[in-house]
Structures are given as structure tokens and as C-alpha cells.
Amino acid sequence: MGKNLVQKILEDHLVAGEMRPGAEIAIAVDQTLTQDATGTLAYLQFEAMGIPKVRTKLSVSYVDHNMLQTGFENADDHRFLQTFAAKYGIYFSRPGNGICHQVHLERFGIPGQTLLGSDSHTPTAGGLGMIGIGVGGLDVAVAMAGMPFNLTVPRVVLVRLRGSLGPWVSAKDVILELLRRLTVKGGVGKVFEYGGDGIAALTVPERATITNMGAELGATTSIFPSDAQTLAFLRAQQREQDWRPLAADKDATYDDVVEIDLPRLAPLVAMPHSPDRVVPVGEVQGTRIDQVCIGSCTNSSYRDLMTVAAILKGKKVHPAVSLAISPGSRQVLNAIARNGALADLIAAGARVLESACGPCIGMGQSPSTDGVSLRTFNRNFEGRSGTPSGRIFLVSPETAAFSALQGVIADPRQLGETLEIALPTSYPVDDGMVIPPSREPDSVEISRGPNIKPLPIASALPDTIKAKVLLVTGNNVTTDHIMPAGANILPLRSNIPAIAEHVFESVDPAFVKRAREQGGGFIVGGENYGQGSSREHAAIAPRYLGVVAVIAKSFARIHRANLVNFGILPLIFDDTASYDAIAKGDELAIVNLRATLPADTRLEVRNLTRDTTSTVRHDLSAREVEMALAGGLLNCMKNG
């Protein structure tokens, strides 16, 4: 029986376990990446392990999130990251060099290798034929220490693309179509492997757009084969030596198959406030817009910006619209500056921002009150833009650019004849803003600003948990809800006591005060609790406030792992009735935890307030049970 591409790469990296569905395996990690919003803690965690140098083939520290230096905090973090990288054998991508996923695709990604990144959109590398998995910073720290990464063997879904895209329909519409069909939790426990005759015409940047937003499906990762398109991209990056052909066997089997006929796709739009509220653009065309933002790790490639420049050339942005454009990397910015496309963007009235994540994480460009913003980004969660009442629509660069001219949401197919964008046979390669590690690491002194605080270490779980329910949430709570981002909060990422003051502030402003007064407690959640960003602060900060367990209908993959990593027990309701029977303020008790947790997947939860008992379960492996009882992964490692 033939093997699919995912099986081949995982088996090639298998360290422990068996490749059978649902089993836990450990795989070797070739590369890691961090970004500055998650990197500081990841490196503090690595430092605590006492290892003199990273043990991966390659580790890169990027600065692309906390770019607004309105105080000393971000600048101090950048200095810490640069000096730490120099000392411990890590490459450092300087502020302004670009978004981690775009730059990694350009300069470091290698087909067939494994990449672990402390950012949920690390699967972007799947456009290059890598297994790229987004995780919390602690998992990256452990990988940098040379240890394998543990995961449950995923179900592999073949997404068979047939035919070719029609005029003004793009790769963004492909992944929006998948989100429309499967929803934001449709990919949990799965890897999406793309195949079919339709992939042949998709360039690496287009493929990367699709694998990038696989994160919004909840997928472990997504991947394309490494083929002629991959070779052409790497050759243009002067990295032809990194190419190798990779594909599934012709008789490969899959757990499921999704068919997409590309010629039948229309331009699509994800409506507020979820990436899976997808409808054809035609259903909302004519909606007045206030802002258009083009960029993010999803749509900021050379191809994307050349398409936008061609649509805008010789025209002016509608007077009621603010258009902001963020090139994905310095290489992209350099290329469009050389060929004149940048001048076309500026002449049309675009505001050109630096090569960074920017508006995607609420770092500037918040829309006006009740404003409608069209964005080529990957997430449109309520309040993520920085404006609580903002209405964020996710679209392709084609739809965004044409709508910016019209002043309303508009179907780009009205432009008529299709546009052909030829990718360069050679990009303007310049790695001058990637600083290699020091050749004399012992002489490097790590710079630590006053906002960089030691990582709080949680205590072991007690045998009996008796505490009140601090909060009850609905379905699809995101890590943005739990631990907001934005220009005011992101600078506190290296200071857990300070950032903990903002936990759940957009959901319940009294949460932190209540958690402190009650000495911690339980959180009760609905389906897909913790979807979205990989930010481990959404686990660390609640644990700092005394949260010891989250009981939910289901969990998003990365957040569940982060909870275990930092000593919060993730428990799952057996039925909806049990969820409905608990209210904020109820006092719950779980007894004999240390004996029951390793021996049984079922636990009894006593509601002392209502004098009722319900059953919950856990899906922890033996390794994760040990971690949870110890109070987290760092405690587990310290205990040997």
C-alpha cells in the first residue's frame, strides 16, 4: 500500500511511537522559528534548561510583531532577542526584514524537513513541502534543546484540486472555500495534503496562502508536494541546492478526500467575526467600506503586491477609503521598488507600512468606530483589529484592491480580462538583515531590560481541587479573548505579572479582580475553546492568576497543549447538559486527582453549590498526565 506525503515525512523523522491513528508519536525537529511576541519567553525557557547551544539544524528568531516602539519595552525585547540569538547559536532576523513566515519561506524553508514555530501560522511552510507545525513557545524551547516533538498521529485529508482558477479568483478563495465547507474546527486532529491536477499551476506563494490559513481550520498543518513549482521558487531564491522532489505514492491512501473544482470558484469573503462565515462576494457587494488593509503572512508576497499594483496603476483610491499595504518582507519591498510597482501603489494613494504583521495583530491601523475594513488577513475575530465595533471582512488581494477603488465591496471579475503576474526568475536576494550567531558566544552578554521578568513556575496540582467557577464562556473562544494583543498589551509579553492584568478583559473586565479575590479557580468553556493564535500567554497568565483547570466541550489543539505545558488541566464535558448545569460562581470539587488521573480517563466533578455530580473526561497521554500533575513541562523536566 502506498504512502501519502505526510506519512513519508513523519516516518522519516519518527523517534518514538507507532504510526497508527490516534497514537502519540515523537518526531525529530529540523528547524524552529520564533517571533518577538512569543520569543522572549521561549528563550527564557530554553535558558532555564542550561544548554549552551541550540541543537537543531537551524533556529531563527524573527522580529515582526511588536514593532511600535512607543516605549522602551519593545526595543528592550529586541535587544534581548538579538544578544540571546548571538550567544546560543540562533539566526536573528532584524526588525524590518519581514514577517517570519514570508522570510522563512524565502530564505530557510527546505522541502521534506520539519519546522516547529511559536506562531500558529507556521504551516505556511507547507507551501514549500515542509511539515510546519505551530506550537507554544515552550515546545519550541524543548525542540531547540534537541528533544523530539510529541503529537498525536493525525488523520490525513487529501484536498484534490481540479482544473484551474478562473479570472480574478485566487488562492485565497481556495482556502476560504475550504473554511466555508469545514468550519474553524473542521481540521482539528487533521493534516490537509493538497493534490490533483489543479496544483500544477499554483506557485509557491499561492500555495503558502492556502497552507497559512489551514490554521483557521484548526488543522495540525497543511502541505503541498515539492515539484517543479517548488524548484522554480527555490532557484529564484538562489537556493536550488535545497530542493528535492517529494510527492505521495500513486496508490497512497487517505482518511478522507475533499474535491474542489477550481473553475467553479468565485471570489469569496469571510464576514465578521469568524474566518468560516464565508459567502460569495456577490452577496455583500455594494457594502460601503472605510478601510482596506493588504498584507499579513497570508497575502503579502511579491505576486500579491504586484497584482494589487496592477489593479491600482493609474487610478486613485476612493476618497472615503484608507488603504494600507504591508509588504511581507524586505525582499518583496525591494523587488517592487526596483520595478516601479511601489511607485504605482504610492501614486494611487496607498499608505505603505513597514514589512511586519502590523494591523493583523491590532498593531496600528485600527478602523474607525463601527468601521468596515476589508483585509487580506487570516483572522477577523471581534475586537482583534483594536476597534471593538469594527466589522472586519477577509478577502483576496484582488477583491481588496478593486474594492478600494470603488469605495464598496466589489467583485473583481468586473475588471474584465484576467491579469497575468510573472514571478521573477531571480529575486533580489540580500541576507544582510539576518545576523548569524556569534563565533565567540562566550563573549556575548545578554541584554535584559527592566520589563523582562523571570518566568513564574506553577506548583504541582493538588490531590483535591476545590474552587469556584470564575467564568463560563460560549463556543469558539479565541486566545485573543483570553489574552488580548494590540499595541498596549503586546509590549508586556515578557512580563507575566503585568500582562496577567488583562486576561479576559474584553469578555469580563472583572475577571482578574475576581480571580485574585478567590485565589484562582475553574474556567468553563464551550466548543473549540482556545482557537486562534499560539500565544502561550493565554495559558501562562491564567495559571499565574490561579486557574487550575478548564472544563470545555472541546479544545483547540495548540491551546490544549499550552494548558498542559503550564499546569492547567484540560477536561472535557461528556454532554451538553453537564455544561448547561454549571454557572459562574458555582463551587466545584474534584477529589483523588493524583490517583484517578493516571488510572482513568473519567473524573467526577462535584458541584457543591447545586449538590450535583457530573462526569468529565480527559484525553491526556501518560506523558501529559505526568506533566499536568507536576504543574507543567518545566517542573517535569526539573524533576527528571
Q: What is the DSSP string of 76-122?
A: HHHHHHHHHHHHHT-EEE-TTSB-HHHHHHHHT--TT-EEEESSTTG
Residue in this structure with the C-alpha cell 454532554, named with its chain if needed? 575
* pLDDT attached to residue 529: 97
Angle at 332 between CA 327 and CA 334, to 5 degrees: 110
Domains and CATH numbers, the chain: 5-264 (3.30.499.10), 271-415 (3.30.499.10), 465-631 (3.20.19.10)
Task: Give Rg (Cα) of the chain.
Answer: 24
Region 236-253 average pLDDT:
98
Under the banding of pLDDT at 50, 70 and 90, the label for residue 638 is confident
* pLDDT attached to residue 101: 98
Grid coordinates representing 340? 516601479
Dist. CA 490–CA 507, nearest whole Å: 18
Of 64, 86, 10, 82, whose CA–CA distance to 295 is shortest? Answer: 64
Strands in 268-270's sheet, in edge-to-edge order, are: 278-280, 268-270, 391-394, 372-375, 291-294, 322-325, 351-352
Q: Got the DSSP string for 322-359?
A: EEEE--SBHHHHHHHHHSSHHHHHHHHT-EEPPSS-GG
Helix (H) or strand (E) holding 222: strand 221-223
Angle at 210 between CA 204 and CA 215, to 5 degrees: 130
User: Maximum CA pair distance of the chain?
Assistant: 72
| Beta strand segments in 376-534, E | 391-394, 434-435, 465-472, 521-525
Under the banding of pLDDT at 50, 70 and 90, the label for residue 1 is confident
Region 96-105 average pLDDT:
98
* pLDDT attached to residue 22: 87
Region 77-100 average pLDDT:
98
**Predicted TM-score (pTM) above 0.85:** yes
pLDDT digits (tens, 9 = 90+) for 461-515: 999 999 999 999 999 999 999 999 888 898 999 999 999 999 999 999 999 999 9
Asked whether the predicted pLDDT for residue 246 surpasses 70, the reply is yes
Query: Which residues touch 11 (CB under 8 Å, ≥6 apart)?
Result: 3, 19
Asked whether the predicted pLDDT for residue 155 surpasses 80, the reply is yes
Query: Which residues touch 67 (CB under 8 Å, ≥6 apart)?
Result: 74, 95, 354, 356, 357, 358, 363
Dist. CA 121–CA 101, nearest whole Å: 7
8 A C-beta contact, residue 405 and residue 317: yes
Of 202, 195, 203, whose CA–CA distance to 237 is shortest? Answer: 203
Angle at 301 between CA 487 and CA 372, to 5 degrees: 50
* pLDDT attached to residue 640: 65
